Structures are given as C-alpha cells and as structure tokens.
Amino acid sequence: MQTENSNIGSYKFVAEPFLVDFTGHLTVGMLGNHLLNCAGFHATARGFGIPALEKLHCTWVLSRLAVEMDRMPCQYETFTVETWVENFYRLFTNRNFAVLDETGSAIGYARTIWAVIDLDTRKPVDLPAEAAGRIADYLCGRPCPIEKPSRMKAAALEPADTLPVRYSDIDINGHVNSIRYIEHILDLFPLEMYRRRRVRRFEATYVAESRYGDSLAFYKQQTGEDIYEVELRKNGAESVCRAKIVFADAPAPSA
Amino acid sequence: MQTENSNIGSYKFVAEPFLVDFTGHLTVGMLGNHLLNCAGFHATARGFGIPALEKLHCTWVLSRLAVEMDRMPCQYETFTVETWVENFYRLFTNRNFAVLDETGSAIGYARTIWAVIDLDTRKPVDLPAEAAGRIADYLCGRPCPIEKPSRMKAAALEPADTLPVRYSDIDINGHVNSIRYIEHILDLFPLEMYRRRRVRRFEATYVAESRYGDSLAFYKQQTGEDIYEVELRKNGAESVCRAKIVFADAPAPSA
C-alpha cells in the first residue's frame, strides 16, 4: 500500500467504522494518527526515521500540527495520505501532507513541524548532520495551500474541564500521546456542536510533555465567531499544549 | 490484504505506534477494533454483513466478547486476524477469531456472540432467514481453544469512577461504541498494574446501549487473585455493560 520510490510518500487508508464519529466521518484524532504514521513510514523508508535517530541517541518529537479539511473521509471511504518534507533547519523540520479522495482530488492538507530531542534529557538538540544529509536528498517543493500554524493567545481564567492522565493516554515514551490530546480537546465541545458544525481546521502546539499522575486542566476560550482556543496546563501550572479549533457548517446529513 | 476465498477470512495488520500502550504492546481496545472490523469484512464479503441486514431493516450488534492472548503484538509487528462463524441460532450467532504472528503461530483467540436488532425498536429480532441461509454456507468447525464467555457476578457497592459520555465515545448509531467501553474499563487500573501485569483475558457483555448525556458509573470488584469484574451502570441505575479482566505476569521488559 506504500509508494516509496519518490520524495512523496503515498499511503492508502479506509475510514474504519470504530474510528468515525457519530456523524460517520473520520475523527480528527484518527486522521492525526494516520498522518503521524505516514510521517514515520516516509522518514524510516528514507533513512531518517526514529530508528536512524535512535542510533544517534535522539528522536523526533511533534512540535506543531495544523490540519485543514474541506471534508473528512466518510465511514468505509478509501483515502490516500501523501507526505513530503518541505524544508529543514537546525532546530525544526517542516513536513506537509495532502489527503486525497478516491479520485485523487485533495480534500484537505496538513502541516507539521518536528523537533529532535535527546533521548535522556528530552531537551531539543540540533538535527544531526547525518539525518540532515538524508533529508536534503528528499526535499520537495510541492505547495501546501493552507496557512502555517498561527500564534495562539492566552487562555481563559477557569478550566472547562480537568482530567487525570490515565493508562490509555500514555504512549511508549511514558508521555501522553499527541493524539489523545486532540481527542480530549474535541471532547470539550457538546455533541450538539458537531451536529451543526464540523472541524474545518485544527491546530496544536505541543509545548511540554505530561505523564501518568499529572492532572490536565483544559482552559477553553472562544476567540472568534467560529474559533476556539484551548490551553492545557498540567498540575495547575505549566502549559503542556495549546490548540485552536475553527468550525464550519457541517455538510448536509446526506453527505 | 484480505482473503475471501474460503470460510475463514484472513486480514493482515501492523501494530501502529499510536495504538500501542506504554509497554509497546497493542491495546486490548485496538485489538478489539481490528477484530470487529474483520467481522464486518468477513460477513459483508459473504453477503450477510450490515449492508445486507440493513436492507431487511435490522443490523448486527455485538452481545459478548472474550479475548484471550498469550501475548499482544508489539509496536510495528505484523499480525494476522482470522475469523469464521462457528454456528448460529435464532437469536445469537457465534463468531470466533485467531490472532497469528508473522510465522503463522497463534498468539491468541477471541470469541464473540452477535445478536440482530430491529433498526427502529433497537430490540432483538430473529435472524432473518435470508441471512441465516448465507451464513449456513460458511460455517466452519475450526476449534477456538479458549473458554466461552462466563457468567459475571454482581457489582461492587461503590463506583470506582464516574464519567460523562463525551463526543469521542459516540459511534454512528448515536451510542457509546463497544471499543470505548473497553478503554474506559482498562483505565480503572493504575499504570503500575500494567507495568507488572498484562491482560491475559478480557470479557465483555453488552447489555444495553448508552448515549450522549448519560453518566457512566464503573463498579469494580476483585473476584480472584488475578481477576476483576466491572459493571457499568448508566445514570445510577440500569446496567449497560459487564466485564471481566484476568491478569497474568507481564513479559520481561525486553520482549
């Protein structure tokens, strides 16, 4: 199902029934899961994935994510995720995505920004020269026609919800996984919202890691007619993640 | 990736990094997701899946699930799910599963029991003769060497946790999806438990449906050295789901 013979990786998926929401559309969290998996497939097949970085005692971490969809794939719909690296700098690498329907038309795009951290200190380090050399061979100038992740403002004064970090939130690194944050953030909105509206754009900035035992407070604020910003703070203090959600009219129920 | 030319359906998967837990093993919830998808693939390809039943104004619902694993697939491991129908009765159909590693050795099995409900009343109805006729062509006597789902006892007096039903819990039918119950139930155990122990067997009986706005109380009781039973009740009264979890020693960290 993978095409690895070019700068662009192409991977086919089906929107599985337990991974769609009550409107029958793939959830933003599960789309995010597919995007991050494709990033891993693409990088690993080209020699600059996590296995290559781990040999250099470091790893990739997702720093920012922006997804913008004209529509989400429907239950049982086949769709393709394409991904490519736009460019890289000392501290950050930009990877973009297109989501295509069965006819090959784009139904959405995503931008991600990745950092490299040391496996012990979990602090950012420079992109190793060896990885940079590999990435340079695969850069791709294909346009990604959505806005870059934006600056986000301060959070509300009162948390909309507070959740303890649970077993199912934790990934193999011992931290809350990037996808779970998305699910928890979208759970802050009432079901009624998703009946009338859909998530057109979702942005997240991952600031710090949280662990089992942490308490996550979700500060939610409406910052525009269809725009909400959410800040997650752990244990009443440190900012962990910021998100921006832009809603649009949901498609007619027949869609 | 599918084999549809026999009574047994065979489907290949990879344990994706965001779908494994902190020990690097596929979660029980995501294994359940794969099993239920395979049930759908198998039945639909043979003319007795949900699309066929919907034409008769009814649908399949999962009534019971028992999964028993010698070990769970590890991150990035390829595994195969095989599924077949053991037999069917007026009200219940038994479908079994084997989970195979890359060499084709079984690492676990599952048993499921399915009922048919009317799309409007959501009450059980007799298996339509048309579907029964199709199923009869595909019965398979292959053994499934794990115990059938067992009777479960009464619940504890005090809930271990209470959760509101949220957006991400709800499936396309407007009810909490079967997989989310599994995740919430396993979140009742502290992370420390999963460091030392693994889930060897997980059983669930789905008794009633719950919806957005319901409050789910989780009554947890230890009923044996390694055995826990959980009852979910909605809105302080009606039983929704019962589960039994049997733990065993976790594999050594190198596994």
Question: For the segment A40-70, what is each residue's pLDDT rounded down to a tens digit?
Answer: 999 999 999 999 999 999 999 999 999 999 9
Contact A17 B37 (CB under 8 A): yes
Question: What was the pLDDT predicted at B2?
Answer: 47
Which residues have C-beta within 8 Å of that of residue B46, sequence separation ≥ 6? B4, B134, B135, B137, B138
HSE, CB side, 13 Å, CA atoms: give it for residue B31.
36
Task: Give A100-111 pLDDT, tens digit per residue.
Answer: 999 999 999 999
Mean pLDDT rounded to a whole number for chain A = 93
A40 touches chain B (CB under 8 A): yes
B16 vs A contacts (CB less than 8 Å): 33, 37
- Which residue in the block uniquely carries the two structure tokens 């604020």? A221
B160 touches chain A (CB under 8 A): no
Best mutation target, B12, B16, B72, B168, to test chain A (most A CBs within 10 A): B168
Residue of B142, B129, B171, B143 whose CA lies nearest to B40: B171
Q: What percent of chain A has pLDDT over 70?
A: 96
Question: What was the pLDDT predicted at A18?
Answer: 81
| pLDDT exceeds 90 at position A253 | no
A36 touches chain B (CB under 8 A): yes
| pLDDT exceeds 50 at position A215 | yes
B253 touches chain A (CB under 8 A): no
Instruction: Summarize the confidence of residues A170-193 as an average pLDDT.
Output: 95
Distance from CA of B190 to the nearest CA of A (A): 7
Residue B66 pairs with which residues in a beta bridge? B111, B203
Q: Are strands B58-69 and A238-249 parallel, antiparallel or unpaired?
A: unpaired
Instruction: Summarize the confidence of residues A173-197 as an average pLDDT.
Output: 95
B29 vs A contacts (CB less than 8 Å): 168
Contact B167 A190 (CB under 8 A): yes
B13, B18, B22, B24: CA torsion to nearest 10: 30
Nearest to B167 among A18, A21, A212 (CB): A21
Interface of B with A in 47-66 (CB under 8 A): none
Instruction: Summarize the confidence of residues A117-129 as an average pLDDT.
Output: 95
Question: What was the pLDDT predicted at A199?
Answer: 98
SS3 A168: helix
Residue of A178, A161, A177, A176 whose CA lies nearest to A217: A161
Question: What was the pLDDT predicted at B1?
Answer: 44
Ranges A140-144, A147-151, A229-233: which has the least confidence: A147-151
Residues of chain B with pLDDT under 70: 1-5, 154, 252-255
| pLDDT exceeds 50 at position A197 | yes
B221 touches chain A (CB under 8 A): no
Question: What was the pLDDT predicted at A1?
Answer: 44
Question: What was the pLDDT predicted at B213?
Answer: 94
A151 touches chain B (CB under 8 A): no
Question: What was the pLDDT predicted at B251?
Answer: 76
B16 touches chain A (CB under 8 A): yes
Interface of B with A in 82-141 (CB under 8 A): none
A178 vs B contacts (CB less than 8 Å): 18
Task: Give A220-252 pLDDT, tens digit per residue.
Answer: 999 999 999 999 999 988 999 999 999 999 876
Question: What was the pLDDT predicted at B5?
Answer: 54
Question: What was the pLDDT predicted at A5?
Answer: 54
pLDDT band at A156 (very low <50, low <70, confident <90, very high): confident
Best mutation target, A28, A36, A72, A167, to test chain B (most B CBs within 10 A): A167
Nearest to B194 among A18, A29, A167 (CB): A167
B29 touches chain A (CB under 8 A): yes
Question: What was the pLDDT predicted at B252?
Answer: 65
Question: What was the pLDDT predicted at A44?
Answer: 95
Does residue A1 or residue B179 have the better pLDDT?
A: B179
Instruction: Summarize the confidence of residues A121-128 as an average pLDDT.
Output: 95
Nearest to B37 among A16, A172, A179 (CB): A16
